[in-house]
Amino acid sequence: MSEELRNTESAESGSVPELHRIVDMGSAVTRTAHGNIHCLTIVGQVEGHTLAVQGTKTTKYEHVMPLLAMVEESDEVDGLLVLLNTVGGDIEAGLAIAEMISGMRKPTVSLVLGGGHSIGIPLAVCTKHSFITPTASMTVHPVRMTGLVVGAPQTFRYFERIQEQIADFVTTNSRIDRETFLSYMMRTGEMATDVGSIVYGKEAVQLGLIDELGGLSDALSCLHRMIEERNKEKES
């Protein structure tokens, strides 16, 4: 960020710390009459235990996980909005983030923009309500093999178990049935260099993978309603 931008922001509103949070962490807290909403972006590649290739946009799980714990415990945050445009990435890191969001008591809403591919699917369905824009896409495919693993029968069984975990999580946190999800995962002939399927906004909703077709205002309105309902439950 340029020094000029920092100085301008400081002079106008004194909100440099908040601006730094947006630039460095991809998150921000918005204070409204409906409540305080923490917006978290999951973009690029979900980075796991090893660093991504230099120049790759990443979401670092070691940043996101403590941030989610803070959101859940903070009295100053009423709800979480997750904005997704990710190519996927590390399976364990992605599932860890998805499990944390799924286990939150506070209202959570996700919005898939551009893409929610691969491990981005569990991240899209882990919230209490999910949205996808009409032009956004989601790639469902089996666990891929890299040159870092041994090509032995035990390795393939390990991959099968990981796929089962992913399928269990997705079908538990969405309306898609297991058989349909696995059939889309193992489909051939749709992608030139891979096994799997690409589904777009409307189809993702029809399959039950995503709850609703919509944009930012729809996601925010849903989150506002959930926050209001939770506040009423607290008062009663």
Task: Given the residues 27, 110, 118, 174, select the one marked as catalytic.
Answer: 118
Average pLDDT along the chain: 86
Domain with 216, as residue range(s), is: 33-235
* C-alpha torsion sign, points 174, 224, 104, 98: positive
Q: Tell me, yes or no, if 10 is annotated catalytic.
A: no
Q: What is the pLDDT confidence band of residue 139, given thresholds at 50, 70 and 90?
A: very high
| Orientation angle between helical segments 16-25 and 3-13, nearest 10 degrees | 140
Instruction: Provide, rounded to the nearest whole percent, the portion of the chain with pLDDT above 90.
Output: 64
Residues 140-191 have pLDDT tens digits of 998 866 545 555 676 778 778 889 999 999 999 999 999 999 999 989 877 7
Q: Tell me, yes or no, if 34 is annotated catalytic.
A: no
CA pair distance 136, 203, nearest whole angstrom: 10
As given in the structure block, the two tokens for residue 8 are 């301008």
As given in the structure block, the two tokens for residue 60 are 């670092």
Residue 110 lies in a domain: yes
Contact present, 56 and 200 (Cβ < 8 Å): no
Angle, vertex CA 164, rays to CA 116 and CA 160, nearest 5? 105
Alpha-carbon Rg for the chain in angstroms: 19
Residue 10 lies in a domain: no
Residue of 119, 61, 117, 65 whose CA lies nearest to 87: 117
Residue 214 lies in a domain: yes
Q: What is the CATH number of the domain that holds 37?
A: 3.90.226.10
Residues 13-72 have pLDDT tens digits of 444 455 455 445 567 888 989 999 999 999 999 998 778 788 888 899 889 999 999 999
Average pLDDT over residues 119-140: 97
Task: Given the residues 34, 38, 141, 224, select the one marked as catalytic.
Answer: 141
Residue 19 lies in a domain: no
Residue 153 lies in a domain: yes
Residue 40 lies in a domain: yes
CA pair distance 216, 222, nearest whole angstrom: 10
Contact present, 27 and 51 (Cβ < 8 Å): no
Hey, is 156 helix, strand or coil? helix
Number of structural domains in the chain = 1
Strand boundaries in the chain, DSSP class E: 27-32, 35-47, 58-60, 79-89, 108-116, 129-132, 137-140, 197-200, 212-213
